[in-house]
Structure 1
């Protein structure tokens, strides 16, 4: 049976938006596909597969334990349920019971963002109650500490380009507060590229997306303290049952982690080099001014930033880029300022030429 865009009446997509969930996040390698195929063609004792792959990944990452889940969002919900339930099977079965009194999850106000769904939705799904610390433009260690009560279950830190970057406490500072009050620190680092940094900085649980920087299949990873990971794993008998991941993606993701550690991801230097002819082509189009910019959160990611100054607005150009086949998706966060960003990590030279040609037609 042949699989194609045409079979289902789908448009091809050029993904210049980045590793975004709405576009299927990323492509997987042949090695990952083979691991997924092996998983799909064989049977396993699923509890054993979960524990053994977790132990294998933990050894690769030099952490106490690891658990593969269905997504980074599931990782947040199950981690919250874990720290609230404290390893109790009753609490896994009844995560919203009134018998649990410590449900508060402290979160810097500037971290309570919508990344496709609000962070607080995942916290609530795990049985937690968000308590915001600090202000939208500022949160210090003192702001977090003053909100701690006997009902506090954990501190949650969102490391993301979606969150407020300025005047925020660091992961190390959040870890120091958590440790001084004997609370776990959960770090959601879904799209981050460093799989070692946040545990080293004192986080007790760290959550990654499988399909973003790691370029695996749809999956999530929770790493950290062994006891806490065991509590996360226990949620498979509770809310995690509705978020279970298949054997094919468990093995595919494990392979993706191994490959990622061996090969890494594209460097910023490489991105800047590939962007040169793209930027030159865009600057030849009347009404567009293009330059290379670094990721706003300081990651080693470089993008094409295009200021739209013609008769059409940036929002109109973005809409027209999506209309035809292939549909071109861009980063739209600065459209109100007349700026369109192009993330080329998943875009090849041929696709960049298609984008330049499409923009010539639109402008």
Structure 2
């Protein structure tokens, strides 16, 4: 890669057959997105006005009241949390992440406890994990909280309920939404890898979710440093206020002279102008905003999703064919995975092959170029091969190297 040589960067390019894993660069962007971002470099825009226009674009494709482009799904979660903590209260916006003497509890099911609650805590929230089993659980078992566990945990310090979208979630999202409505608490949904399918852009809003956070660099194939936050107008306004900084061209902006985009912020609900909020580090470039909106336009066009499915299947087919007939190897191309886009599920019989999936994966990583498949230890002797980060040449290399790693002694 010439750019690495010109900058004297001692980094070896890899082939990402693991899919939307951020560590490996996420999904590749369509050429139209790359060109749109390049075009955006040639124009100067006010970011708040661009975000206001972007909100209108997002509203059309999601059915939400408003939307905001962020620098990733984690940023969406942080800003969404900040919105629930502060609303339009400028004093609270200026204080975050200090939430002393203000309600700051966010409920999350104990069974959904994970590292992705860090962005919420970074905004100043205190996470209250819901659902405690009545007895000790065996290794590998998880206590699935009951809906009443949420109700019991609600206090006057509760500001929101957070939920991580995945198939078969317990309690179902619909029931958690109903609790939120009953107690007038917003629902923050982490749907990082839930788009595609395209219908999910509207599904969660129609279910009554108040804030939906989605990654822009996964199945949408926008810039890796982009994300979406969409939902209730006042919450999106509060999220924006916790992120962008008013005009500083003449020093700190006065309230009278400040004109935030009306499609994002109802100025009359504010008593002043927030300055340098907690989400300052979540700011997003004009190039990333334009790139993500372009990727969304491509995906949501009438045949956009169908074209993407066809593209991925064509890339996966030579990999599948190369491994057909190999003893102890079982291949399935399926879309029954998070994101709904086709992948190869590769299973092996380690007794027949005399090696484990972990050993096969390690051999791929040690080759030139290194190849990464999605093979976490919890998968055992299975892995997922995704084409979201591949081109035609990559797919050929993956096919040959996988065959060699599996069949070599």
Q: Distance in 1 between matches of 2:5 and 2:323?
A: 29
Q: Distance in 2 between matches of 1:352 and 1:38?
A: 30
Q: After TM superposition, list the pairs within 5 Å mapping 1:177-326 onto structure 2.
A: 177-193=179-195, 194-217=200-223, 218-236=225-243, 237-262=276-301, 263-264=304-305, 275=316, 277-297=318-338, 299=340, 301-309=342-350, 310-326=353-369
Q: Which of 292-301 and 86-95 deviates more?
A: 292-301
Structure 1 residue runs without a partner (length 5+): none
TM-score by length of 2: 0.79
Q: Distance in 2 between matches of 1:358 and 1:334?
A: 21
Q: Is the contact made by 2:192 and 2:214 (CA closer than 8 Å) also made in structure 1?
A: yes
* Structure 1 residues 301 and 169: alpha-carbon distance in aligned structure 2, compared to 1, 3 A threshold: farther
* Number of aligned residues: 355
Structure 1 residue 269, shift from structure 2 partner: 7.5
CA-to-partner distance for each residue in 1:81-119, whole Å, 9 max, x for gaps? 110112212212211335443111111222222xxxx12
1:159 aligns with 2:160: no
Secondary structure of the residue aligned to 2:180 is helix
Q: Is the contact made by 2:68 and 2:230 (CA closer than 8 Å) also made in structure 1?
A: yes
CA-to-partner distance for each residue in 1:202-244, whole Å, 9 max, x for gaps? 1011011111121111211100110000000011141211121
Q: Distance in 1 between matches of 2:180 and 2:85?
A: 15
Secondary structure of the residue aligned to 2:54 is helix
Q: After TM superposition, list the pairs within 5 Å mapping 1:23-38 onto structure 2.
A: 23-38=24-39
Q: Which has the larger radius of gyration?
A: 2
TM-score by length of 1: 0.88
Root mean square deviation, CA, Å: 2.6
Q: Distance in 1 between matches of 2:87 and 2:19?
A: 37
* Structure 1 residues 227 and 238: alpha-carbon distance in aligned structure 2, compared to 1, 3 A threshold: same
Structure 1 residue 338, shift from structure 2 partner: 2.0
* Structure 1 residues 258 and 278: alpha-carbon distance in aligned structure 2, compared to 1, 3 A threshold: same
1:146 aligns with 2:178: no
Quote the residue 1:41 is aligned against.
Answer: 42
Q: Distance in 2 between matches of 1:280 and 1:30?
A: 28
Q: Which of 97-106 and 277-286 deviates more?
A: 277-286
Q: Which of 14-23 and 33-42 deviates more?
A: 33-42
